[in-house]
Amino acid sequence: MYTEEQMITYLQSMMDRAKYEEERYGRDERTIGLFDNMIACKEMVEALIQKPVNLRKDGKVTVGF
């Protein structure tokens, strides 16, 4: 079983990758797909940990309000 910290770390790595790709290639079909996958993963993590997860515009993933 994965811990909350491990799931948030994984989400952060998805965010880092998506932001890097967006910076390098712009907002194309590929980067939009990366962000879509990240949002789906965020929803699953929220359901598992029973806490809100925030994907901030500055590239940080946080838990709570």
Query: What's the domain range around 57?
Result: 4-63
pLDDT recorded at residue 64 = 87
pTM beyond 0.85, yes or no: yes
pLDDT of residue 44: 96
Q: How many residues does the chain have?
A: 65
Total domain count, the chain: 1
Residue 47, helix vs strand vs coil: helix
Region 9-38: what's the mean pLDDT? 96
